[in-house]
Structure 1
Amino acid sequence: MQDQQDQRSRRFGLPTATALVMGNIIGGGIFLLPALVAPYGTVSLLAFVVLTVGALTLALVFGRLAQRDPRTGGPYVYARAAFGDFAGFLAAWSYWITTWVSNAALAVAAVGYLDVLLPVRGETWHTVLAALVILWLPALANLAGTRYVGAVQLVSTVLKFVPLLLVAVGGLLFFDPANLGPFQASDQGLAGSVSASAAILLFSYLGVESAAMSAGEVRDPRRNVGRATVLGTLGAALVYLLGTLAVFGTVAHDDLTHSTAPFSDAVDAMFGGGWGGAAIAGAALISMTGALNGWTLMSAQAPYAAATDGLFPAIFLRKRRGVPTTGVLVGTALASLLTVVNFTAGAGGAFRTLVLVTTFTATVPYLLATAAQLYFLLSGRRDQVSPGRLARDTALALAAFGFSLWLVAGAGYAAVYQGVLFLFAGVLVYVWLAARRDQGQRQPQPPSAAAGTQEAPATVSSAGAAGRTPVGAGRVGGNHSGQGSF
């Protein structure tokens, strides 16, 4: 009876789960990234194709993993199941960093398009205030509950998908090859240029794991998570490739390298300025608001999943109307602080810095998740994998792992350096939580307390003893629908 109630209370069907994936992928990245990769030349279009193939391999691997373990937490759940607590913590910590740093980057990008409609960039405090408002409005929608999160995601995805397709298709009618500029504009060589531009472009594909991250809130997750992941990635890839090509062909290369709103510039070039650029700026703001809505939910789901197993502070377990409220508030506060700090570098510099940091931090859970899939396949734990599909799934996981590793190399020394600092700062958190847990287990308990512990529900063990499950054994990840179920 309880399982039936949990299934009915889950908010995300296949359309909403697909919209969550597509909405998180098509956020602010597509609207600003053409200007960031323009200095590399049109070789970045080749990087887009390579990146799309890699993103699809990741999507398929996440779909396979969700069939095996369809619970909220995504990469965290998979890494912990395969390699134990510390690997699970690193996946959750790194993904959590990715979410709120991505939100800061989206807010920075959104200000550039807001400035097309309203002059907000004349004074620094005007810019910062606008970015903070853009960050906190989606946070308020999340605090209202998952029903509103899903509704905002569906509406914003539709509203932004239509104008992006219009620009992508319409831009081909105004396409001028003279605007493309050189094929290779940097001196890094072909392989270096593709790798460097792909590292920046990865930001535009972050979110491929969104359905897996919220699997516990998806109806029939074993079936719908994989389908939503692939469908959302394919839809986003179509818009990305056509849209970027349209911008490259309508805006002169030299102008594009200095643009803060390339899609608005593309529409102005098509129709001679006026309403077109403003309309695209409005669509961009809707798109980024929808992406922030989804990413704010992700910033709460990652620490919630880890906190269920005692690997994040217990305060992150607090839920209201199906949403982990502490995660929403803490993630948005950190994104706000980072936005204020990075605006001193200017919008373009801040966005690029944030994008490269998230490129590294996102690849850590990707690498751990794909490595977990390889472990499951090669160690004999091949449940839900038919013998005829074993070789194919192994090759797919190897391709996704190699793709993620390549992205780490393409991020560059500075991004890896900053990302490692963010990542290793979490080791102190893990040490503190592990020490508290072990200290609590060593303390003697009176007979009455011990009896009460034995009769306690499974959620106690999920925060304590289950956190010490041996590699690849036992209950992993907790029953996420049991703590404030949807």
Structure 2
Amino acid sequence: MHDTGTPPRQPGPAGGAQEAAPSKHARRFGLPIATCLVMGNIIGGGIFLLPASVAPFGTISLVAFGVLTIGAIALALVFGRLAERDPRTGGPYVYAREAFGDFAGFLAAWSYWITTWVSNAALAVAAVGYLDVLMPVNDHRWSACLAALVLQLLPAAANFAGTRYVGAVQLVATVLKFLPLLLVAVGGLFFFDSGNLGPFRASGDGPVGAVSAAAAILLFSYLGVESAAVSAGEVRDPRRNVGRATILGTLGAALVYLLGTLAVFGTVAHDKLVGSTAPFSDAVDVMFGGSWGGTAVACAALVSMVGALNGWTLLSAQTPYAAAKDGLFPGAFGKKKRGVPTVGVLVTVVLASLLTVYNYTAGSGGVFESLVLITTFTATVPYLLATAAQIHFLVSGQRERVDRARLVRDGVLAGVAFAFSMWLVGGSGYAAVYQGVLFLFVGVLVYAVMAARRQRAATEAKG
């Protein structure tokens, strides 16, 4: 395979170098663990409501899923190419900084960091709803709050223990959540009844309008495709394995999404599915009888969310770690123990926990939901910068040797991935984009302080 660009520069200690893991608790991820990281972060808890969310648009929503899958795979391929070119921890931050300089790299790191810790709080709060099916924790807001905090602390403990344990938890969680979802996805095909599908276009919109409307709900289902690239420094043979893990993880998630949604469409009557609050539970009840579907799905959802929390907690520390190595984040973020940037994990847990407590004490669900919507915009900023960086590398001719066919192929992939990223931004909504930009502007102030400190340190070193 030809390289897509010039060989990456070998950074020194202040340039994001990857130190060897000295502890027995630190272990680099192989292809299976890296794939589980991608798949586990893409598939959170939202999949358990997706069939009901898109049912009002009819089975044309499956077409929207197909279109989005193409965009997600293109984005995954671009991340694989970029990681092949520069396999350092940080992913989009590293690519944006190399292509466009410190400020672009900082924006990628800052926006991604915001996404991770706000998303962790949202995941924990959502997981409490599934935990309540198994035990009554929602009877009082403080018991619910405590449960949400515990759900965040358990994955954090695995991260503090080292990458060895992060990988083990991620592998087990991905297998445990993938198997029941696949059971419904494949088993549901044996109970498939085309009479349950309902109309192809149930919303009454035209084909393009119906696909776009369904896609607006589904757009964020593939957030997380960058997971292996962000943790490239912890992946064995990253030039080879990051791209493979990204593609395999994205394809695995797409398989679960598409087959799962199709199976639920074919087992639950359309009229019932439109108003369902637990579509997978309804499908399990139809397939196997009884009323234990809710319990089974609640267990699967909890495992899914804990796995996602485990992976996102690691990613929340990786990008600030890379930026800190370059002097663009406080230096404490650039220290590792057992292969994990523990300060980044600690700060993420504290911020997510404070947001969780605020959610239960303020009683302002609208504010909390607005913060979550903002992350749908901040998550796409690194995507845009990373795909733009790939286009920059291709157009500027930063290649070891000319391979016109590969150049055209990579250019088309980068163009599709950039368009997909823009689609994600558009799907965020005006309010989320507006408020998300305000969050980015707060980051500008942080960048100003960090850049000034770097300049002063450089001046003192020369003097």
User: Normalising to structure 2: TM-score of the pair?
Assistant: 0.88
Residue 150 of structure 2 is aligned to residue 133 of structure 1: yes
Residue 257 of structure 2 is aligned to residue 249 of structure 1: no
Match of 1:361 among 378, 383, 386: 378
Match of 1:87 among 86, 104, 114: 104
AA in 2 matched with 1:171: G
AA in 2 matched with 1:276: G
Q: Kindly tell me: are residues 267 and 345 of structure 1, through their superposed partners in 2, closer, same or farther at Cα, counting changes over 3 Å? A: farther
Identity of aligned residues (%): 76
Q: CA deviation at 1:193?
A: 4.4
AA in 1 matched with 2:36: A
Q: CA deviation at 1:18?
A: 1.1
Kindly provide the CA deviation profile for residues 271-325 of structure 1, in whole angstroms up to 9, marking residues without a partner as x.
3343333122212211111111111000010111111101111121232211111
Match of 1:294 among 311, 315, 318: 311
AA in 1 matched with 2:434: Y
Q: Which residue of 1 aligns with 2:426?
A: 409
Q: Kindly tell me: are residues 81 and 39 of structure 1, through their superposed partners in 2, closer, same or farther at Cα, counting changes over 3 Å? A: same
Residue 284 of structure 2 is aligned to residue 267 of structure 1: yes
**Contact 1:108/1:350 (CA < 8 Å) preserved in 2?**
no
Q: Which residue of 2 aligns with 1:483?
A: none
- Give the Cα–Cα distance (whole angstroms) in 2 for the partners of residues 245 and 441 of structure 1: 59
- Give the Cα–Cα distance (whole angstroms) in 2 for the partners of residues 409 and 187 of structure 1: 22
DSSP 3-state at the match of 2:28: coil
**Contact 1:96/1:299 (CA < 8 Å) preserved in 2?**
yes
AA in 1 matched with 2:100: F
Residues 136-215 of structure 1 mapped to structure 2, 5 A cutoff: 136-184=153-201, 186=203, 190-215=207-232
**Contact 1:34/1:244 (CA < 8 Å) preserved in 2?**
yes
AA in 2 matched with 1:306: A
Q: CA deviation at 1:103?
A: 1.6
**Contact 1:78/1:369 (CA < 8 Å) preserved in 2?**
yes
Aligned residues: 443
- Give the Cα–Cα distance (whole angstroms) in 2 for the partners of residues 400 and 115 of structure 1: 39
Q: CA deviation at 1:384?
A: 7.2
CA RMSD of aligned residues (A): 2.7
Q: Which residue of 1 aligns with 2:115?
A: 98
Q: Which residue of 2 aligns with 1:374?
A: 391
Q: Which residue of 1 aligns with 2:131?
A: 114
Q: CA deviation at 1:187?
A: 7.2
**Structure 1 alignment gaps of length 5 or more:** 451-486
Residue 318 of structure 2 is aligned to residue 309 of structure 1: no
AA in 1 matched with 2:47: I
Q: Which residue of 1 aligns with 2:438?
A: 421
- Give the Cα–Cα distance (whole angstroms) in 1 for the partners of residues 29 and 93 of structure 2: 20
- Give the Cα–Cα distance (whole angstroms) in 2 for the partners of residues 120 and 274 of structure 1: 21
- Give the Cα–Cα distance (whole angstroms) in 2 for the partners of residues 290 and 52 of structure 1: 22
Q: Which residue of 2 aligns with 1:400?
A: 417
Q: Kindly tell me: are residues 84 and 234 of structure 1, through their superposed partners in 2, closer, same or farther at Cα, counting changes over 3 Å? A: same
Q: Which residue of 2 aligns with 1:477?
A: none
AA in 1 matched with 2:334: L
**Contact 1:200/1:355 (CA < 8 Å) preserved in 2?**
no
Q: Which residue of 2 aligns with 1:46?
A: 63
AA in 1 matched with 2:164: R
**Contact 1:29/1:203 (CA < 8 Å) preserved in 2?**
no
Q: Kindly tell me: are residues 240 and 3 of structure 1, through their superposed partners in 2, closer, same or farther at Cα, counting changes over 3 Å? A: closer
Q: Which residue of 2 aligns with 1:76?
A: 93
**Contact 1:171/1:246 (CA < 8 Å) preserved in 2?**
yes
AA in 1 matched with 2:394: L
- Give the Cα–Cα distance (whole angstroms) in 1 for the partners of residues 357 and 62 of structure 2: 32
User: Greater shift after overlay, 98-107 or 191-200?
Assistant: 191-200
**Contact 1:57/1:400 (CA < 8 Å) preserved in 2?**
yes
DSSP 3-state at the match of 1:119: coil
AA in 2 matched with 1:59: A
DSSP 3-state at the match of 1:310: coil
Q: CA deviation at 1:33?
A: 3.1
Kindly provide the CA deviation profile for residues 220-246 of structure 1, in whole angstroms up to 9, marking residues without a partner as x.
111111111111111111011011222
- Give the Cα–Cα distance (whole angstroms) in 2 for the partners of residues 65 and 426 of structure 1: 25
- Give the Cα–Cα distance (whole angstroms) in 2 for the partners of residues 340 and 258 of structure 1: 31
Q: Which residue of 1 aligns with 2:12?
A: none
- Give the Cα–Cα distance (whole angstroms) in 2 for the partners of residues 181 and 121 of structure 1: 35
Q: Kindly tell me: are residues 45 and 194 of structure 1, through their superposed partners in 2, closer, same or farther at Cα, counting changes over 3 Å? A: same
**Contact 2:74/2:416 (CA < 8 Å) preserved in 1?**
yes
- Give the Cα–Cα distance (whole angstroms) in 2 for the partners of residues 143 and 259 of structure 1: 39
Kindly provide the CA deviation profile for residues 244-267 of structure 1, in whole angstroms up to 9, marking residues without a partner as x.
222233344455455444322321
Q: Which residue of 2 aligns with 1:323?
A: 340
Match of 2:242 among 225, 230, 248: 225
AA in 2 matched with 1:76: Y
Kindly provide the CA deviation profile for residues 432-477 of structure 1, in whole angstroms up to 9, marking residues without a partner as x.
11122223334587xxxx6xxxxxxxxxxxxxxxxxxxxxxxxxxx
- Give the Cα–Cα distance (whole angstroms) in 1 for the partners of residues 459 and 168 of structure 2: 48
AA in 2 matched with 1:28: G
**Contact 1:59/1:209 (CA < 8 Å) preserved in 2?**
yes
Kindly provide the CA deviation profile for residues 56-78 of structure 1, in whole angstroms up to 9, marking residues without a partner as x.
00010001001100110000000
User: Normalising to structure 1: TM-score of the pair?
Assistant: 0.84
DSSP 3-state at the match of 2:49: helix
**Structure 2 alignment gaps of length 5 or more:** 1-16
Q: Kindly tell me: are residues 183 and 432 of structure 1, through their superposed partners in 2, closer, same or farther at Cα, counting changes over 3 Å? A: farther
User: Greater shift after overlay, 334-343 or 399-408?
Assistant: 334-343
AA in 2 matched with 1:51: L
Q: CA deviation at 1:17?
A: 1.0
